Amino acid sequence: MNHSEGENKMGVMPVNRLLLNMAIPIMLSMLIQALYNVVDSYFVSKISLDPQISQNALNAVSLAFPVQNLMIAVSVGTGVGVNALLSRSLGQGDREKVNRSAVNGIFLAGVSCLVFMALGLTCTRLFYSVQTDIQGILDYGTDYLTIVCGASFGLFGAVIMERLLQATGQTFYTMISQAVGAVTNIILDPVLIFGLGPFPRMEVAGAALATVIGQILGCCVGIFFNATRNPEIKLTFKGFRPHPQTIREIYSVGLPSIVMQSIGSVMVFGMNQILIAFTDTATAVFGVYFKLQSFFFMPVFGLNNGMVPIVAYNYGARKPERIIKTIKLSVVYATILLAIGFAVFQIFPSQLLSIFQTEGDNVGNLLKYGVPALKIISFSWLLAGFGIVCGSVFQALNHGMLSLTVSLVRQLIVLLPVAFLLSQLFHSLDVVWLAFPIAELFSCALCAIFIRRVYLRDILPLRN
């Protein structure tokens, strides 16, 4: 089928080619992001020859995950709402609404950023003192999180700029802006952590500074591409006032997404409390697991980010067959990616964990507790692809509450209580990890019910 004059490629390009065209650049950029997540923890684990100091540094970064995840939840959730609304408006041909969605999204990202900057500069030590009384973790953690939150304008700016590019199909430029941020972080990590060349040795604070400098550069590149390479959107703040109806529409999808991803922070915080009762190495294992799993989940999220604007655009353009084909292909690709991840975690758990072994850890505690964790948790991945894709379909079609319900059931109603129950009944760390595949089973069943409902109510009527 040839492109109709003036129509966006999301309405006319063959679906498989379109999905790969949209998703592969984002998947590659997210792989680079996953790499710099791992690089952060790798260098932090090598800070000192004293294993206790390195362990404290690694734990400090691991315990920061809920707050970092919360910032990502708010920035990405707002971006998801903007992305879905903007793509639907493009499909409907409403240019005024496209531009209004973009500038209101940028405004919301700015407001959110100010809140986190204020919290980060005043509450980080309190956050760590609730979780531990180990002085080394408290000091390292306060340094790390104060910088990451205090300079979070780079993160919020980068995410909203990337989402504007994704919503209009300009995913190649998204890849470049994300890659610039990630590569900058990877280069600066050892330089600032260990004080190479003229730079002072900053240890954990250096890891944080490398992160925020990368985010700020990524944001600058994103602004440049939106201003010069994104003809679908005209960004102007002349006479700008917040538009309540647009903000409501953004948050009708975005707010459930924010809450859904924030639930992940609550889950990690709760799991850390369950795990630390066994040994503080268990929390380091959990932190390392999240770094490693990102190599497989980040590409799946990249696939989803490519899928959402296609589904939303074709819903606005009333093209149900393209929606159905996009969803089916996305489930297949996501399942294949996570099945590969499962195989890697089953075959090479020791090799993966040894990357993060702290200097002087001669007893191999990280491997002792980590190998069973990776093998058991990864069984949940065999089902996770279906659930992740379904959640994004719900968001694309303005059913954010369905995504939220699935996430709530999986992480808070099933996962945490089951993990706590297993820890009390069996007093075995290895058994606690079984909570993950159990929770994924519940999630999958719920997604199957919800996706059928969405098909019957929203997609099927478009055929008439």
Q: Is the pLDDT of residue 16 over 70?
A: yes
Range with lowest mean pLDDT among 26-30, 70-74, 436-440: 26-30
How much is the mean pLDDT over the chain?
90
Q: Is the pTM of this model over 0.85?
A: no
Residues making up the chain, counted from first to last? 464
First-to-last C-alpha distance (Å) of the chain: 22
d(CA 42, CA 190): 10
- pLDDT at res. 90: 87
Q: 46-60, 278-292, 369-383 — which one is most confidently predicted on average?
A: 369-383
- pLDDT at res. 284: 85
Q: What does the pLDDT average to over 91-101?
A: 90
Q: What does the pLDDT average to over 84-109?
A: 91
CA angle (416 as vertex; 415, 420 as ends), nearest 5: 120
- pLDDT at res. 1: 35
- Write the Ramachandran bin of 360: left for phi over 0, alpha for psi from -120 to 50, otherwise beta: left
Give which of 239, 247, 340, 237 is closest to 295, Cα–Cα.
Answer: 340
d(CA 289, CA 322): 36
CA dihedral angle for residue 266, residue 267, residue 273, residue 278, rounded to 10 degrees:
-170
Residue that is written with structure tokens 């659930």 in the block: 387
pLDDT grade for 209, boundaries at 50, 70 and 90: very high
Q: What does the pLDDT average to over 420-449?
A: 96
Give which of 445, 442, 450 is closest to 397, Cα–Cα.
Answer: 450
The identity of residue 7, as a single letter, is: E
Greater confidence (414 vs 57) lies with: 414
- Is residue 17 helix, strand or coil? helix
Percent of the chain's residues with pLDDT above 90: 60
Q: Which two tokens stand for residue 413?
A: 């109603």
Range with lowest mean pLDDT among 26-35, 139-148, 235-244, 323-332: 26-35
pLDDT grade for 184, boundaries at 50, 70 and 90: very high
pLDDT grade for 4, boundaries at 50, 70 and 90: very low
Residue that is written with structure tokens 């969405």 in the block: 454
Q: What does the pLDDT average to over 409-425?
A: 96
pLDDT grade for 10, boundaries at 50, 70 and 90: confident
Query: C-alpha distances in angstroms, 361 versus 53, 139, 279, 358, 376?
Result: 11, 22, 15, 6, 24
Burial annotation 243-275 (CB, 10 A radius, 16+ → b, else e): beebbebbbbbbbbbbbbbbbbbbbbbbbbebb
pLDDT grade for 204, boundaries at 50, 70 and 90: very high
Range with lowest mean pLDDT among 1-5, 61-65, 445-449: 1-5
- pLDDT at res. 360: 57
pLDDT grade for 244, boundaries at 50, 70 and 90: very high
Greater confidence (25 vs 377) lies with: 377
- pLDDT tens figures, 276-311: 889 888 988 998 898 899 889 989 988 988 898 899
- pLDDT at res. 358: 66
Q: What does the pLDDT average to over 137-147?
A: 94
pLDDT grade for 216, boundaries at 50, 70 and 90: very high
